[in-house]
Structure 1
Amino acid sequence: MFERFTRDARSTVTGAVAEAQRAGAPTITEEYLLLSLLAQGVLDPLGIDRAAIAADLATARRRGGMSKADEEALAGLGIDLTEIVSRIEETHGEGALSAPSRRKRTGHIPFTPGAKKVLEQSLRIALGRKDRRISTLHLLLSLLSRPGTPAEVLADHGVTYARAETALAA
């Protein structure tokens, strides 16, 4: 499937690997694909604030990857996620829920099942649009079409599937 990727889409995937390595992450998640798209300026035509999106992703990492929907569901049960995160960080240090794995790496960082699904979905989107190659647009649309932190953060910044498709399809 990788042979169908445009040069920019390949750069996004390799950029995600580099982002995960820089963070010391044990796996490559959907978040790293989004960070790579941001670093390449793919979302710039949408007028988004790269730093704000990166900060929101970092905040989600501090919550252990729990989404705002998760936080609201817990609040409905009387559980304050912010308080739990604060207590954990008091005991174990800031970012304890997002701390990278301490296990020794062999050099290869695997993609999570969710990140693999994003890549697979990008192919489906390209085929559905009758595009011959998978581009960064397809990767972004795939991230937007799947539930999770990247789609939630993008939506919070006004980036929707329809808006991205309209603004970036050229």
Structure 2
Amino acid sequence: MMFERFTPDTRTVVVHTQEHARRLGHHYIGPEHLLLALVSTDQPAGAVLREHGVTPEGVEEEIVRLVGLGGGSRLFGTLDRDALASVGIDIDAVRARIEESFGPEALARADSAAHHGPRSSRRGPRRGLPTTLVRHWRRRRGVRRPALTSPTPAPTGLHRATGARPGGHIRFSSRAKESLANTVREAQARRDSYIGVEHLTLGLIAMPSGLVPSVLSALGTSAPALRTAITDRYRQAS
């Protein structure tokens, strides 16, 4: 029901979010990918972000600096960097040591082996399940999760991961789902019957942890300042 209330512009942002994650070689969609899609939109919320120094180029550079490119980024992308730093674990140092010892593609190779396994293990129906049941389950899954299609060309950016990019549907991380829950609450608080780009942006910058606060801080702004500016911009437009 939530996605049915998304405006066409909001749906496009979600589609572009997945395309950004795929272009960067990430096997998940995090709040940082939502931010990257939002700063590129021509909606008022995107304009406010850019006016406060949150540009597509700046956001992407921070994502690559904090998470990296390619399949190996999944090994670190969902971790709480600040929490690990508080106990003396520097994710960037860990990544550098691994790639120094095993090469720049070591993380991508490890990620592929850990999450995909031998190619033969992914062929055919699941052992012990009737073929007809498996086919029925696949059809039902296809109905429940329709693929979103973008009316505009796929977004571009500064970076592109080398090697094969993630295919198929890319899942939202727990923090991305949390930001979407915030989005619904923003729309409900304003008693809006739709979910627009402004709700998506306000719900995203309300995230207290994860990469988004770090990215905003690195680009010289803060969630409270952005919230005030976005709210004022939409109030003036109404």
Same fold (TM over 0.5): yes
Q: For residue 159 of structure 2, what is the aligned residue in structure 1?
A: none
Q: 1:74 to 1:134 in 2, by over 3 A?
A: same
Match of 1:162 among 224, 229, 232: 224
| 8 A contact 1:143–1:151 mirrored in 2 | no
The aligned counterpart of 1:111 is: 172
Q: Is 1:84 matched with 2:94?
A: yes
SS in 2 for 1:39: coil
Instruction: Normalising by structure 2, report the TM-score.
Output: 0.59
Task: Name the residue aligned to 1:55.
Answer: 61
The code of the aligned residue for 2:66 comes to A
- The two structures, once aligned, show a CA RMSD in angstroms of 2.8
Alpha carbons of structure 1 residues 84 and 27: separation in structure 2 relative to 1, 3 Å: closer
From the superposition, tell whether residues 167 and 97 of structure 1 become closer, same or farther in structure 2 (CA, over 3 Å): farther
Say which of 188, 194, 208 aligns to 1:127: 188
Describe the shift of the 1:135–1:160 C-alpha distance in structure 2 as closer, same or farther (beyond 3 A): farther
2:67 aligns to what SS in structure 1?
helix
- 1:123 to partner: Cα distance: 0.6
- Secondary structure at 1:158's aligned position in 2? coil
Number of corresponding residues: 167
- Structure with the larger helix share: 1
**Which 5+ residue runs of structure 2 have no aligned equivalent?**
120-165
1:152 to 209, 214, 225: 214
Query: 1:139 Cα shift?
Result: 1.6
* Cα displacement (A) at 1:132: 2.8
* 1:17 matched residue in structure 2: 18
Is 2:200 the partner of 1:139? yes
TM-score norm. by structure 1 comes to: 0.79
**Quick one: percent identity of the two aligned structures?**
31
- Residue identity matched to 1:86: A
**1:23 positional shift:** 2.5
